[in-house]
Structure 1
Amino acid sequence: MSSAVSQRHVLLRTLDYLRPYWGLLVVSALCSMVVGAMDGAFAYLVEPVLKKIFAGKDTGIFLLVPIGIIALFVLRGICRFTYDTTIKLAGQKAIQDIRNDLYGSTIRKDMAFYNRQATGELMSRMTNDIGMMQDGMANVVCGLFRDLISFLSLLVVIFYRNWQLAILCFIVLPVTIYPAQLIGKKIKNAARRSLDVMGGIGSILQETFSGIKVIKAFGLETRVIERFRTENLAFLNQYKRFIKYESLAMPVSEMIISLGIAAVVYLGGSQVLSGRMSASELFSFIAAMIMLFNPVKKLQGSWNVVQRSSGGAERVFQLMDAQRLIVDKDATVELARVSGRVELHEVSFSYGDEPVLQNISLSVEPGRMVALVGPSGGGKSTLAALLMRFYDVSSGAILLDGHDLRAISLESLNRQFALVDQETTLFNDTIANNIRYGWTDASDAEVEAAARAAFAHDFILELPEGYATNIGDRGVRLSGGQRQRICIARAILKNAPILILDEATSALDTESEKMVQQALDNLMLNRTTFVIAHRLSTVLHADTIVVLEKGRIVECGSHADLVEGSGLYSRLHALQFSDQPVKGDAASA
C-alpha cells in the first residue's frame, strides 16, 4: 500500500468514527456555512457601502452601518459558538469510541502479543497517540466547512469584482500546494518518531515506578535518572524537527502569497489610475483577496495538523489491527463444566526458534493433584500456560475431557480454569470487588463465603471499612500473605474444575505459608490441580510428580517412588532436606 493510499485510508477510517454523530455534524456544517458566507458578504458590501457613503453622501446608511456590523457579528458569534461546540462534541465522542475500541482490542490480544510489547509503549498509544488524533480531528472537521465556504464565497466576490486580477491572484494558490505537501510529510514523520520516543519514556516511567523498591534498595536513583534524561533528550531532539517544520510551513506559504498580493496591488492600482476601475472597487477587491488568503492559510494549517495527527492515528490503528494468534475456529465446542480429565499427547512448544517443551505426554484423571517440579527454565510455567491456551502448542495436542483445546471456544475454556500465581495481581479497588473478579455476579454472601474458605475473612473485618476497604495499587496496603489469600478467595469464588497454582507460596514467610496452604487445601478439594513448585515440601502429597528438565519429562511418579530412586528428583530432595552437600548436577539446579 502506497504512502498516499495509506494516509487516505487512515484519514477515512478516522472520520468514519464521526458517522454515528451525523446530526451534530449537520448542525455544525450549517452554522459554519453561515460564518463562512459572511466573509464573502462583508467583502462584497464594502464597495457599495463606501460608494453610497462617500460618493452619494448617504448619511442614513452611514448611521445604520455600525448597527448592522454589531448585528452581523452577534449572529456570526452565535453561529460560531454553535458549530464549535457541536463539532468538538462530535469529535470528542468519536475519540471516546476510538479509545474504547483500542482498549478493548488490546485487552483481547493474546499473551504472545504482550510478550512483544512494553507496557509503557501501550500506555503511550492509549494516551499520547490518541491525544494527537484528537487534535487532528478537531482541526480538520472544525475548519473544513467554515474555511472552505469562506474561501468559495470570497472567491466568487473577487471574480465578480475583477476576473483578470482574480486569475492573477488565483495562480499563486496552486504554487503553495507543493511546499505544503512536502512540509506536511516531514511534519507527519517527525510526529511519528516523537511518539515512538515518547513510548520509550512511558516504558521507563512504568518500570521505575513499579520497581521503586528495588531502585531504592540498590541506590539506583542516579542511574535511572540519567536513563530518563537520555530518553527525554532524544524526545526533545525529535520534537525540535517537528517544531522546525511546523513553524516553517506558514512563513513559506505567506511569502509565496505575498507575490500575488504585490502583483494585484500594482496592476489594480494601475487600473485605478487609468480610470478603468474605481478606488472603492479596488478596495473591495483587496479586502476580499486578503480575507481569501486567511481561510487558505487556515486550511493549510489544518492540513499540517492532520499530517501530525495521522502519525498518531497510524500507530493507533496499527495496534488495533495487530492480529491475535489465539482465536476461535469457525466451529468450536461450547463446554459446560468439565470433569477435569487432561491429556497431553507429544506436546512440543517453541518461542520463535527456541524450543521450550519437547514431546511431553501426560494423562491426568479428574480430581488428581499433579506437581510440576525441576530446575528453573525447565518449562513448568510454559506448560501451565499451554493448558490455559495462552499459547498454542507447536506440535502435538492437549485434550480436555477428550476435546482438543483448539476446538473449544475460548470463553468456555476460560471458565474451566482458575489461577493462583506467585505474582499476586490485585487491583486498585475494594477487597470485595477484587474477590468478585472471580465471578462478577456473586452476591456479598458468596464473596464472604469465599473469603472464609481462604482464611481471609478475619483480617478483612479488621480493616477500616471491611470488605469495602480500597487496597491501593496492586494491594500495597496488605501483607504478602493477605494478598495471596485474597487471590485464593477469588479462585474459590470462580469455582473452576481445574486449578493451576504457580509458586503460590514461594514468596511467603513460614507463618503466612501455613495459613495460605490451609486455604489452598480448601481450594484444591475435588479439583484437578497442577502445582508448580520449587520447594518440594509443598508437593509431597501430590498424586503424581512430574520432573521437567530442559523441556522434557525426565521422571514421573509419586514422592515415595521418586525419592528412593537415583534420578534428578532424589537429588533435588536431598539438596533441600539434607544438611549434607550433594554432588552432581543437582547443585546447579
Structure 2
Amino acid sequence: MNTPRSPQVEPGEVSGMRVYRRLLSHSLHYWPYLAVSVVAMIVTASTETGFAALMRPLMDGSFVEQDPNVIRWIPFAIVGIFVVRGVGEFLANYCIKWVGRRVVKELRGQMFRHLLHMPAAYFDRNSGGQLISRLTYNVEQVAQASTDSLTVLVRDSVTVLGLLAWMLYLNATLTLTVLIVAPAVVFAVDRVTRRFRRISRRIQNSMGDVTHVAGEVLDGHRVVKIFGGEDFEEARFEEVNERNRRLHMKMVATQSSNVPIVQFFVAIALALIVWLATQDSMLQDVSVGTFVSFVTAMFLLLAPIRRLVNVNATLQKGIAAGQNIFGLLDEPLERDTGSSPLPRARGEITLQGVSFAYEPEKGEVLQDVHLEVAPGETVALVGRSGSGKTTLVNLLPRFYEPQRGRILLDGEDIRSYRLAELRRQIAYVGQHVTLFNDTIAGNIAYGSPVEAADEACIREAAEAAHAMEFIERLPQGLQTPVGDNGVLLSGGQRQRIAIARALLKDAPILILDEATSALDTESERQIQAALDNLVRNRTTLVIAHRLSTVENADRIVVMQAGRVLETGTHRELLARDGAYARLHQLQFHEPQADAAAAGT
C-alpha cells in the first residue's frame, strides 16, 4: 500500500522579498549611476503626466476657446516634453545597463572565487553542468531582476502615480471608479507571482540538465562515436531539451494570460468612466478638455500597467535564480582554521587510526588505518580497485576530512597548517592528467612561483621529464598550445608534461597515482629514470596497479577493503606469501601459464 505523499513546499517560497533585497544590495554598490538612472526615470515618467495635462489646454484653449496665446506655446511644449523624455530615457537606460553588467561581473566573480575554495565533496554532489548554468544563465536572470525590472518598477510606478494624481485633480469621482478594480488586479498578480517563481526554478534546473548532458557528450565525443551512441545521446538530449521547452511554454502561457486578464479589468473601469462621464449631471461639470485629458491619462495608464504586470515574470525569474546563486554563495568553504607556519616540510607522514566515509550510510572506505612514512621514504600503496588507496592520498592535501583519527605532517596535525601552505608541500602526478588550454610552458609552470617560471627553469624541468625530445619537434616549441585539456598531445606526452610540472614545483612530498600508466615501454623507461631523480630526498606515495613499477620502493603497503593488510619490502612480502604474493602471482605467473597453454 502506497503511503500518500505530503505536499511539497517549494524552497524559499516565503523569502522572495529577502532575496530581492539582497539582489538590490549588489546594485546599490554603484549608487551614483543608480541615482542618475532613478532620477532620469522619474523625469521620463513625469513627461507622461505632462503630456496628459497638455491635452486640457490643447482642447479647451486651442479648439474650444481658440486662445491665440495657447495656440502659440502648445507646439513648443509638445516638442519640449519629448526632448526631455528622450534625454531621460537615454540616461535611465544607459546607467541602469551599466549597473546591470557590473552586477553580472561581480556575482560571477564571487561565484567563481567561491567555487575555487569549495570542498571536494561539494563537486561530488553537484554536476558541472548545473554549476556552469548558475554561472551563465542564472546570473543573467539575476541581472534582469536587479536592474531591468527596477527600471519598470520605478519609471512605471511613478508614471501610474502621476497619472492617477492628475486624474484625481481633474475628477475624483471618475478616478475612484478606476480604483474599484484594483483588488481584483492585485489578487490576479499574486496568484501569477507564485506560479512564475515555481516555473522559473524548474526552468533553471532544466537549463542545468541541458548543459550537463551537452557537456558530457562534448567531453566524451570519442566514446560516443566508437560505441555508436549517437542515437542514444540524441534521444537523451531531446528529452531534457523538450522538458526545457515545455517549461518555457508554461511560463509564456502564464504570462500571456496574465496581461489580458488585467487589461480586461482595466477595460471594465474605462467603460464605467465613459458611462459616468456621459451622464447629464457629469457633463455639466466636465469640460471637453478635462474629459479628453482624463481619457488620455486613462489610456496612458494601460502601457505602464501592462509593463508592471509583465515585469513580474522577470522579477520571479530573478528571485528564483537568486535563490540558486545565493544558495551556492552561502555554502560553507573549505575549513581553513590552521595557523602554524610551514616553510618547507621534512616529509614525515603519520596516520593514526584514520577512518573515512564519503557517505556514512554506504559504509567506511578507510577503517582504522595506521601508517608511518619517514622523510624521504618511497611508499607504494597497492591493492585491488576500491581498496582505499586513492582515498588515503586524497586525505593528505585535505580534499576530505577523516571522520576519526588524525594525519600528522612533521609531527603536527595537518589541520593546524594553513591549507595553502600545506598544499604547497605536495606535488601530484595522476593517471588522468589535467592540462589547461594554454601553451606547454604555461602548463609546466602552472602554479609555480614567478622566479621558477622563467623559460630556463621550465626547459630544465621538461628535459628532466624527457619531454624536450618531443617538444623540440613541435613548430612553436614550449609555446605550442596544447588544446582543450591537452587534446592536441598524446597520452604519453601529456603525462610527461605533468611530470615536468611536478619537477618544477620542487615540493617535498610527491604523490604518484599510476603516473606511468599511459606510457609505452620505451617512454616508461625514460620517465622512470626521471621519476627516480624526482623522488630522491622526497617523501613519495605511489599508487600502482602494475607491481613491476613499485618493486624498488622502500616499502609496500597492501590495502584491502579500506584496511592495511601487510607492509614490507618487495622481497619481504613475497617471502611472507600473503596478499601481496597472491597479487604478484596473478600479474606475473598466470599470464605466463596462459601463454604456455596457448603454445601447446
Equivalent runs, 1:235-250 vs 2, <5 Å: 235-250=244-259
Equivalent runs, 1:529-540 vs 2, <5 Å: 529-540=540-551
Range 300-309 or range 498-507, more displaced: 300-309
Equivalent runs, 1:17-416 vs 2, <5 Å: 17-59=26-68, 61-62=70-71, 64-270=73-279, 274-324=283-333, 326-329=334-337, 332-353=339-360, 354-416=363-425
User: Does residue 508 of structure 2 align to residue 501 of structure 1?
Assistant: no
Task: Give the Cα–Cα distance (whole angstroms) in 1 for the partners of residues 428 and 234 of structure 2.
Answer: 37
Range 303-312 or range 66-75, more displaced: 66-75
Paired amino acid for 1:270: Q
Task: Give the Cα–Cα distance (whole angstroms) in 1 for the partners of residues 158 and 251 of structure 2.
Answer: 30
Deviations 1:27-67 (A, max 9, x none): 11111111111111111121122211112223454354334
Q: 1:382 to 1:232 in 2, by over 3 A?
A: same
User: Does residue 518 of structure 2 align to residue 511 of structure 1?
Assistant: no
Paired amino acid for 1:549: Q
Task: Give the Cα–Cα distance (whole angstroms) in 1 for the partners of residues 81 and 170 of structure 2.
Answer: 23
Q: Is the 8 A contact 1:158 1:166 kept in 2?
A: yes
Q: Is the 8 A contact 1:158 1:288 kept in 2?
A: yes
Range 381-390 or range 286-295, more displaced: 286-295
Q: Is the 8 A contact 1:388 1:417 kept in 2?
A: yes
1:385 to partner: Cα distance:
0.3
Task: Give the Cα–Cα distance (whole angstroms) in 2 for the partners of residues 272 and 336 of structure 1.
Answer: 94
Q: Is the 8 A contact 1:272 1:278 kept in 2?
A: no
2:459 to 448, 454, 457: 448
Task: Give the Cα–Cα distance (whole angstroms) in 2 for the partners of residues 479 and 500 of structure 1.
Answer: 22
Paired amino acid for 2:336: D
1:498 to partner: Cα distance:
0.4
- Aligned pair count reads 581
Q: 1:224 to 1:16 in 2, by over 3 A?
A: same
DSSP 3-state at the match of 2:365: strand
Q: Is the 8 A contact 1:574 1:582 kept in 2?
A: no
Uncovered stretches (5+) of structure 2, i.e. residues with no partner: 1-9, 595-600
1:380 to partner: Cα distance:
0.3
Paired amino acid for 1:370: V
Task: Give the Cα–Cα distance (whole angstroms) in 1 for the partners of residues 530 and 192 of structure 2.
Answer: 65
Task: Give the Cα–Cα distance (whole angstroms) in 2 for the partners of residues 234 and 516 of structure 1.
Answer: 50
Paired amino acid for 2:476: E
Name the TM-score, length of structure 1 as normaliser: 0.95
Q: Is the 8 A contact 1:197 1:234 kept in 2?
A: yes
Q: Is the 8 A contact 2:441 2:458 kept in 1?
A: yes
Range 297-306 or range 113-122, more displaced: 297-306
Q: Is the 8 A contact 1:575 1:582 kept in 2?
A: no
Task: Give the Cα–Cα distance (whole angstroms) in 2 for the partners of residues 467 and 362 of structure 1.
Answer: 41
Q: Is the 8 A contact 2:59 2:288 kept in 1?
A: no
Task: Give the Cα–Cα distance (whole angstroms) in 2 for the partners of residues 183 and 3 of structure 1.
Answer: 17
Name the TM-score, length of structure 2 as normaliser: 0.93
1:271 to partner: Cα distance:
5.0
1:18 to partner: Cα distance:
1.0
1:170 to partner: Cα distance:
2.1
Q: 1:7 to 1:203 in 2, by over 3 A?
A: same
Range 334-343 or range 302-311, more displaced: 302-311
Q: Which residue of 2 aligns with 1:586?
A: none
Paired amino acid for 1:453: A
Equivalent runs, 1:475-490 vs 2, <5 Å: 475-490=486-501
Task: Give the Cα–Cα distance (whole angstroms) in 2 for the partners of residues 31 and 445 of structure 1.
Answer: 59
Q: Is the 8 A contact 2:366 2:388 kept in 1?
A: yes
Task: Give the Cα–Cα distance (whole angstroms) in 2 for the partners of residues 150 and 293 of structure 1.
Answer: 11
Task: Give the Cα–Cα distance (whole angstroms) in 1 for the partners of residues 218 and 283 of structure 2.
Answer: 77
DSSP 3-state at the match of 1:176: helix
Q: 1:262 to 1:580 in 2, by over 3 A?
A: closer
Q: Which residue of 1 aligns with 2:562?
A: 551
Task: Give the Cα–Cα distance (whole angstroms) in 2 for the partners of residues 513 and 259 of structure 1.
Answer: 84
Task: Give the Cα–Cα distance (whole angstroms) in 2 for the partners of residues 573 and 379 of structure 1.
Answer: 19
Percent of aligned positions that are identical = 39
Q: Is the 8 A contact 1:271 1:277 kept in 2?
A: no
Q: Is the 8 A contact 2:50 2:81 kept in 1?
A: no
Q: Is the 8 A contact 2:427 2:505 kept in 1?
A: yes
Uncovered stretches (5+) of structure 1, i.e. residues with no partner: 584-589
Q: 1:438 to 1:240 in 2, by over 3 A?
A: same
Deviations 1:224-282 (A, max 9, x none): 11111112122222222111111111111111111111111110121577412112211
Task: Give the Cα–Cα distance (whole angstroms) in 1 for the partners of residues 13 and 491 of structure 2.
Answer: 55
Q: 1:271 to 1:22 in 2, by over 3 A?
A: farther
Paired amino acid for 1:77: G
Task: Give the Cα–Cα distance (whole angstroms) in 1 for the partners of residues 273 and 115 of structure 2.
Answer: 56
Task: Give the Cα–Cα distance (whole angstroms) in 2 for the partners of residues 232 and 5 of structure 1.
Answer: 30
